[in-house]
Amino acid sequence: MNKKYQPIVRRFYIIVAASSIIAMAAIPAMSGEYAALEGVKSVKTVFDVIQGSPQTANIVFWAVNNVNDDKSVRALSEPPQVAVVFHGPAVKMISTNRNGFKESDNEALDKFANMIQQMKKDGVKFEVCDYALKVMGVDPKTVLPEVDHVGNGFISIAGYQAQGYSVITIN
């Protein structure tokens, strides 16, 4: 395959995969039943976000937000606890500095920033790995204000897991 088309093909496959995940999540939601929630008091989930495509993030974060907002999850005896930890290329998407992105990415980045702002208001916790910011060359001062800083995102993920959170990796 021609190397210039490889990023396009890869993005296509990511979008198809994300769309499939959303479709699979939507089918049970339409029926209003989640057998997996039987006997569950609360959903505690931490999303380990690595991928750095704003277009893909907007698709995938619909499903992330749905974990917090779904009526079946909200009907449990305890409210959901959802956290998101950004590291790797994902840290560039939560920066106000758009260097490294194409002009055509700006609309998706704005939409993603607005989604994070709303999700934060709805109780989702956001953290960014300061080590990843350094490695990826992102100025910590440019990170969206809704996102808290932690020294090492892997320690946060391990801590959430030790508290009983399920870990879901988005890469």
Number of Cβ within 10 Å of residue 95's Cβ equals 24
Q: What is the pLDDT of residue 13?
A: 65
Q: Check: CB of residue 44 under 8 Å from CB of residue 163.
A: yes
50 contacts: CB under 8 Å, gap ≥ 6: 87, 88, 89, 90, 169, 170, 171
Q: How far apart are CA 14 and CA 81, in angstroms?
A: 27
Round to whole Å and give the CA distance between 83 and 70.
15
pLDDT of the residue at 24: 57
- For the whole model, what pTM was predicted? 0.80
SS3 for 137? coil
- 67-73 own/partner pairs: CB under 8 Å, 24+ apart: 67/43, 68/119, 68/122, 68/123, 68/124, 69/122, 70/29, 71/32, 72/29, 72/32, 72/33, 72/34, 72/37, 73/37, 73/43
How confident is the prediction along the chain (171 residues), in pLDDT tens digits per residue? 566 666 666 666 677 666 666 655 554 444 357 889 988 999 999 999 999 999 999 999 999 999 999 999 998 999 999 999 999 999 999 999 998 899 999 999 999 999 999 999 999 999 999 999 999 999 999 999 999 999 999 999 999 999 999 999 998
